[in-house]
Amino acid sequence: MALGPISTFRVAAADLNGQMRGKRLPRPTFDKLGDGVRMPLSVLNVDVWGADIEDSPLVFESGDADGILLPTDRGPVPMPWLDSPSALVPMEMFHETGEAFAGDPRHALANVLKRYEAYGWTVQAGIEMEFYLVDDSGDTLAPPLNPLTGRPLQGNAILSLRQLDAFDGFLSAVYDASEQMELPAQSTISEAGLGQFEIDLDHADAMRAADNAWLFKALIRGMARKHGMAGTFMSKPLPDESGTGMHVHFSVLDAAGNNIFDNGGPEGTALMKHAVAGCLEAMPASTLIFAPHGPSYDRFVPGAHAPVGACWAYENRTAALRIPGGSSKARRIEHRVAGGDINPYLALAAILGAAITGIEDARRPPAPISGNAYDMDLPRLRPDWASAIDTFETDPTIARIFPELLIRNLTLTKRQEMRRLAEIAPEDHWKTYLEAV
């Protein structure tokens, strides 16, 4: 790995909330990273405020034992939003024995991808990242100031080039930084909400795509601060505006590079439909992954553009699962359920784990819908945080996707967060989540 001319660097792994947990280290220690960096296993199982989980077996049964962070295959990544030249080395957690730590979200995705590899398949994924730029200088969040006029944004500007041009300084800096970080940032649009944008990350191998999303969230938050704003992936930071989503497009390639969803026509193969069925059947039990925080459920209201009914359709953006049109060679599934506040590793593990389970079980989906899914009586996602936690904990399909330790750690974490959030006034919830998710 090449580090470049810097004096310090960071090492970090993703905790269950997707937050970066790690250390800042001096340049001379970089050459020793192959030996690993010692950190408590429990650091990947803390709540959104960074507190230990009460009664966590990682702390109270194991004596808060150390694990070993080892570099992923990503290598060092520049951090262009910082004033001093710095780099981040993404890491994964292992036991001292060399065994992968089952509570690491990145390992959870790796285990799902191994199920595809057993068939000689690889998964390609592209991710649409929605986010808001906001003004957090007051007691409540507000739309950002227009950089050209200095006045707060007024009126919605969906697909507005004028609004994109107004924020050209920020967006150009994001593209420059993405190139430095080797993030495949593609098209940008102005979304429906005031100060809401979407940037697409091009298709890549699924693990690379999850890494890209994790790093991109850090980039947006850091670069927004550098431009005098806050960048957030909260699911609904402004109560009267649209919700924030993260849409995942995925296809599966065989050993020869052929798309197993492509039958030469618009309808897709039987394997694609088995994958659709698996995603639909696992969707309610996966609610906790797609809506992991208390404020996540603010997005599940009419008008927030959040699909909450388990259904699929061809070329229909109101459906939870959409089969886009276009060339059959690019036949893919678009999973539209997750909020922007998710952990990308857990989200892709849930989506791709459900799809491979549907393929392995040869599940058959219901007929695709036509019309507006928001007006239909459909199987629903869990309606609230508490029921989402309970369902995730006990569902048999979830147990086929995620290891027992991660399920236990995540449910303990979310129950602790639910108790603590209840002690905070709702109007102050944003202060916890603004840049944490």
Model pLDDT for residues 365-415, shown as the tens digit of each residue: 999 999 999 889 898 999 999 999 999 999 999 999 999 999 999 999 999
Residue 342 scores a pLDDT above 60: yes
Mean pLDDT, residues 104-112 taken together:
98
Q: What is the pLDDT of residues 376-385, one digit of tens each?
A: 989 899 999 9
Statement: the pTM of the whole predicted model exceeds 0.85: yes
CATH 3.10.20.70 domain extents, the chain: 8-100
Q: Which fold has domain 8-100?
A: Ubiquitin-like (UB roll) (3.10.20)
Q: What is the pLDDT of residues 144-181, one digit of tens each?
A: 988 888 888 876 666 567 788 889 999 999 999 999 99
Mean pLDDT, residues 287-310 taken together:
87
Contact criterion met (CB below 8 Å) for 46 and 188 = no
pLDDT band at 64 (very low <50, low <70, confident <90, very high): confident
CATH 3.30.590.10 domain extents, the chain: 112-433
Mean pLDDT, residues 201-214 taken together:
98
pLDDT value at residue 133: 95
pLDDT value at residue 194: 84
Residue 60 scores a pLDDT above 60: no
pLDDT value at residue 1: 47
pLDDT value at residue 55: 76
Q: Which fold has domain 112-433?
A: Creatine Kinase; Chain A, domain 2 (3.30.590)
